[in-house]
Chain A
Amino acid sequence: MTTATASAADGEKTRNRRRPARPGAGPGRPGFAWAAPAAVFFGLFALVPLLLVAVLSFTRWNGLGSPEFAGLENWSALLDDPVMVKSLWLSLVLTVLGVAVQTPLSILLGVWAAGHQRNRAVLSAIYFVPLLLSITAVSVLWRAVLDPNFGIPAQAKWLFGDGNLFGVQAGALGVLVFVSTWQFTPLHTLLYQGAARAVPRVLYQAAQIDGAGRVRQFFHITLPQLRNTVVTSTILMVVGGLTTFDTVLILTQGGPGTDTTNSAYYMYQKAFKSFDFGTASAVALLLVLVAGLVSLVMVRLSGYDRMRSTLEGV
C-alpha cells in the first residue's frame, strides 16, 4: 500500500510535468523504454496484487480451496461494522499524533545536526542508530522495557502509576506513537539536516548584518527554506502512519479490546486470525482508498505538485 500511495503522488507529478511538452518532442528526451523496468515491477508487485485484492473483496475465502463469489456481502457488512469505522479513526489519530510529535523534533534535531562542529557529527551518527534496527526488534525491546512489573514503570511509579500502559487506550496509543517516533525521527532528522545544509550561507550573513539573532534567523530563514522538505517529510510520515502495523502487532495486538486496532491491523486480524480473506481484502482496499484520498488532498494543499525552488531570487 505504501508503494501504491507513493506512486499516486508520483503519477500526479509526471502528469503535470508532461503537460507543457509532449514526450519525444524535444531532442534528448528519454523514451518510454527507460521506464519499462520500473513499470514492469510496479505492475507486477503493486497493480496486480491490488487488482487481486479488489477481486477477493467480493468473495468468501478462508485460504483453503477456492474463493466463492459473495457479491457485496463483505462490503455491506463492513459499512455497518463499528470496529471498521473506529479503526479508520485510530489510523488517522496515530498519523496526526505521529506528525505532530515527529516534525518539530526532527526539524530541531536536523537543524542542530547541520552544524559542522565535530561533537554534532558524532552525536548525530549515534542518534542515527535506531533507524538501523529492525522495527520488530525495537518493538520487542520496548515491550520488555515497559513491562509494568519488571521494566521502567516498576521503578518510576511517580510517572507511570500502576504501569498499566498497555491496558488503557491513552497509554497504548502513547506507546505506539513513542516507539515510532523513537525509530523514525532519525530518518526525518537526516532529511532536515541535508536540507538545512543546503540553505545558502549568504542569507545568514545578510541577516547577521541586519542584526537578526539566532531565533529570528531560524524562523525567518531556516524554516521558510525548509518548506519543501517539510512537505516531503510529512507525506512520508502520513503514508507510514496510515499503514502502521508492525508496532501494533507486537506492542498492543490492537488492544485493550479494539482500542488500538487501526485499519492495517484490523485487516491482518480478519485475514490471519479469523481467516476471512474476503473481508480482509475489503478492509485493505478501503485503507488504500482513504490513504490515496489523504495523500491527494495533501499534495493539492501543500503545492507538492508544483513545488517551487526556495532559492528564487537568491
Chain B
Amino acid sequence: MKRHARLLRTAVVGGASLAMTLSLAACGGSADGDSGTIHVLVYGDATNKVEKQLVDTFNKTSKVKAVLDTVPGADYQAKLQTIISGKQAPDVFFNWGGGSIEPYVDAGLLKPLDDFIAEDPGLKANFLPSVFDTAVVDGKPYGVPMRGTQPVLLFSNKKVLQDAGVTTPRTWDELLATVGTLKAKGITPIALGGGDKWPTQMWFQYVYDRVAGPELFEKAVKGDKEVWASADSRKALGMLEELIDTGAFGTNYDSVKFTDGGSPALLATGKAAFELMGSWEYSTLQDAYPDFVKNDLGYGTFPTVEGGKGDARNVAGNTNNFYSVLRTTEHPEAVAEFLKLMYSDEFVEAQLAVGNLPTTTNTPEFLDRAANPEYSKYQYDLVKEAPAFQLSWDQAFPPAATTTLHQAVQQFFNGQTDTDSFIAAMQSLPAA
C-alpha cells in the first residue's frame, strides 16, 4: 500500500512538472519581447520592404531595437485581435484608423498620442489634416499615418485596349459598350479576384457612390436601414446586375484571388483588360511584372454615371494606414522616436519608390523623384481634389459585419441572391 502511495505521488509530481515544462516552453516565444525591443506588427504585403528599411534605419541609432513582425494580409485582423490584449501584444501596430481601432480604444488598450505630439508637434502638423483625422477617436489622436493613401482606381492593360481598338471608358454606358467589344474578341473584360470578396465589394462602393452620392452609405453605416431599400440603392444594384449579366467579369471570377496574385496576373498577361483595385496594385505589379508596369499599365477614375448624384471626382478606398501605440509599451520614448520617422524624407522617398503615396505635407517636394512621378502626381491631385473619400465598406463597418457583408457581395455577383435578399442582408448589419 505504501509503495502504491509513493508511486502515485511520483506520478502526479512527474506529470505536473512535465506539464509545467511544456507550458513554460510555450511561453518562451514571447519572452524576448521584454528586454530593450519594441515589436512593430504590420500587414504583410509588398510594402513591407519600406517598413523593413525604416526599422533598420531606426535600429542604427536607437538603443532600444525595433523588431518588425508581419502577418499575411488575410489573417492580419484576426491575429491582431487575438494578441492585442495579451502578453504577446505588439508595441506598435498597423491599422486602418477609424472603425478598425474603435473597439481597442473602448477597451482602453491604446495610448492617446497627445503626449507625443506635445513633445514633437511635427507628429501631427506634418500630415495632411484630413488623413490624420481618420485615426482620431473621441477627440483624441490614436494613429500616425504610416503608408500611402490608397484610392481605388480602374487599372487597364493599354496594349489589350489598343489591340481591341477601344479607349478607357469615361461613362458607365461606354464601359458597357467596351465590355461588349472586348468579349467579342475573346478577352475577359474585367479581372476580378472574387475569391477574396473585398475586390467584389469595390464595385459596390463606386457604383453606390456614383448613383446615390456618399450620403447613402454615411447614413447606412450609422444604422439607417431604410437607405438600402431606396430607389437609388435599387438602381445601383440593377446596374451591377446588368454589368455582371453581360459577362464583364467572365464566369470563373470566384475561383480567382487578388491575394495570391491571380487577378493582377490576368491583367498583366493580357488575359483581361481592366481591374478595379486599390492603388497598391502598382507595387504588386511592379514586383511581379516590372516590364508591364513600365510599358502598358494604364489607370484612371471610375466611370461617371449619367443622372447620378455622386460627384465624378469622388474616390473610394483607404485614406491611409496608421501606426497606433499600445498603452502597455515599456519604451514610449523609443516608440515616439520611431513614429517620427513616418514624416522623414527617407520615408517619403521609400514609399514613393514602391508606388505608394504618403500623406505628409512634404510629399509634393518629392513627387518628381517618385518611381513613376506621373502616377504619384495623378493620385495626389485626385485625392486632393476629391470632394468625398469613401472609406472601404468593410473598414467603415465594425469587424462583426465583415463576414455577412463579404458573403452578400459575393452571392449577389454569383447569382445566389437577388436584389431583395441583398438588401435584407445589408439591413441586418450591425451599425458602427
A155 within 8 A of B: no
Contacts of B252 in A (CB 8 A): 148-149, 162-164, 167
B183 to chain A, nearest CB (A): 14
Q: Are A149 and B265 in contact (CB-based, < 8 A)?
A: yes
Interchain residue pairs with CB less than 8 A apart (24): A31-B8, A32-B8, A37-B11, A39-B15, A64-B84, A64-B107, A146-B255, A147-B260, A147-B262, A149-B265, A150-B265, A162-B250, A164-B252, A164-B254, A166-B255, A167-B252, A167-B253, A167-B255, A167-B414, A253-B195, A253-B197, A257-B407, A257-B414, A272-B82
Question: Is chain A's interface secondary structure helix, strand, loop, or mixed overall?
Answer: loop
Contacts of B106 in A (CB 8 A): 64
Contacts A167-B254, A255-B195, A256-B254: A149 and B262 contacting too (C-beta < 8 A)?
yes
Stretch touching chain B among A5-13, A68-76, A273-281, A297-305? A273-281
Docked complex Cα distance between A256 and B416 (Å): 9
B298 within 8 A of A: no
Contacts A65-B107, A256-B414, A257-B411: A272 and B251 contacting too (C-beta < 8 A)?
no
Contacts of B254 in A (CB 8 A): 164, 166-167, 255-256
Contacts of A276 in B (CB 8 A): 400
A34 within 8 A of B: yes
Q: Are A149 and B403 in contact (CB-based, < 8 A)?
A: no
> Nearest chain-B residue to A34 (Cβ)?
B11
Q: Are B194 and A143 in contact (CB-based, < 8 A)?
A: no
Query: Per-residue CB proximity of B237-256 to A under 8 Å, as 1/0?
Result: 00000000000001111111
Task: Give which listed residue, B18, B400, B410, contacts A274 with CB less than 8 A.
Answer: B400
Q: Are A37 and B85 in contact (CB-based, < 8 A)?
A: no
Query: Which 10 pairs from chain A and chain B are nearest by CB?
Result: A167-B254, A164-B252, A37-B15, A64-B107, A166-B255, A272-B78, A36-B11, A33-B8, A40-B15, A148-B252
Q: Are B255 and A40 in contact (CB-based, < 8 A)?
A: no
Docked complex Cα distance between A147 and B264 (Å): 13
Pair count A-B, CB < 8 A? 118
Q: Are B255 and A147 in contact (CB-based, < 8 A)?
A: yes
B103 within 8 A of A: yes
Residues 156 to 185 of chain A near chain B (Cβ within 8 Å): 162-167
Docked complex Cα distance between A253 and B75 (Å): 12
Say which size band chain B's interface belongs to. Answer: 35 or more
Task: Give which listed residue, A32, A34, A36, A273, contacts B399 with CB less than 8 A.
Answer: A273
B288 within 8 A of A: no
Q: Are B81 and A275 in contact (CB-based, < 8 A)?
A: yes
Docked complex Cα distance between A67 and B10 (Å): 38
Query: Per-residue CB proximity of A216-258 to B under 8 Å, as 1/0?
Result: 0000000000000000000000000000000000000101111
A293 to chain B, nearest CB (A): 28
Residues 82 to 120 of chain B near chain A (Cβ within 8 Å): 82, 84-85, 103-104, 106-107, 109
A102 to chain B, nearest CB (A): 25
B181 within 8 A of A: no
Question: Is chain B's interface secondary structure helix, strand, loop, or mixed overall?
Answer: helix
Q: Which of B10, B265, B402, B407 has the most CB of A within 10 A?
A: B407
Task: Give which listed residue, A36, A63, A257, contacts B85 with CB less than 8 A.
Answer: A63
Known: A164-B254, A167-B255, A257-B416. 9 other contacts (CB 8 A): A31-B8, A33-B4, A34-B11, A41-B15, A147-B260, A149-B262, A166-B255, A257-B411, A273-B78
Q: Are B107 and A257 in contact (CB-based, < 8 A)?
A: no
B16 within 8 A of A: yes
Residues 205 to 263 of chain B near chain A (Cβ within 8 Å): 250-256, 260, 262
Query: Per-residue CB proximity of B71-85 to A under 8 Å, as 1/0?
Result: 000000110011011
Docked complex Cα distance between A163 and B107 (Å): 46
Q: Are B18 and A164 in contact (CB-based, < 8 A)?
A: no
Docked complex Cα distance between A33 and B103 (Å): 48
Docked complex Cα distance between A167 and B192 (Å): 13
Docked complex Cα distance between A199 and B194 (Å): 52
Q: Are B19 and A275 in contact (CB-based, < 8 A)?
A: no
B328 to chain A, nearest CB (A): 13
Contacts of B410 in A (CB 8 A): 255-257
Q: Are B255 and A165 in contact (CB-based, < 8 A)?
A: yes
B271 within 8 A of A: yes
Q: Are A36 and B12 in contact (CB-based, < 8 A)?
A: yes
Q: Are A63 and B81 in contact (CB-based, < 8 A)?
A: yes
Contacts of B432 in A (CB 8 A): none
A62 within 8 A of B: yes
Task: Give which listed residue, A34, A65, A149, A166, contacts B195 with CB less than 8 A.
Answer: A166
Contacts A148-B252, A162-B251: A62 and B103 contacting too (C-beta < 8 A)?
yes
A246 to chain B, nearest CB (A): 13
Contacts of A163 in B (CB 8 A): 252, 255
Residues 8 to 38 of chain B near chain A (Cβ within 8 Å): 8, 10-12, 14-16, 18-19
B7 within 8 A of A: yes
Contacts A33-B4, A65-B107, A257-B414: A41 and B265 contacting too (C-beta < 8 A)?
no
Residues 77 to 136 of chain A near chain B (Cβ within 8 Å): none
A283 to chain B, nearest CB (A): 13
B335 within 8 A of A: no
A248 to chain B, nearest CB (A): 13
> Nearest chain-A residue to B250 (Cβ)?
A162
Residues 391 to 427 of chain B near chain A (Cβ within 8 Å): 399-400, 402-403, 407, 410-411, 414, 416-417
Contacts of B250 in A (CB 8 A): 162
Contacts of B202 in A (CB 8 A): none
Contacts of B81 in A (CB 8 A): 62-64, 272, 275
Task: Give which listed residue, A31, A39, A275, contacts B400 with CB less than 8 A.
Answer: A275
Q: Are B403 and A274 in contact (CB-based, < 8 A)?
A: yes
Query: Per-residue CB proximity of A139-154 to B under 8 Å, as 1/0?
Result: 0000110111110000
Q: Which of B4, B85, B254 has the most CB of A within 10 A?
A: B254
Contacts of B19 in A (CB 8 A): 40-41, 44
Q: Which of B106, B251, B252, B402 has the most CB of A within 10 A?
A: B252
Contacts of A62 in B (CB 8 A): 81, 103, 400
Contacts of B262 in A (CB 8 A): 147, 149-150
A2 within 8 A of B: no
Q: Are A64 and B103 in contact (CB-based, < 8 A)?
A: yes
Docked complex Cα distance between A248 and B253 (Å): 18
A138 to chain B, nearest CB (A): 15
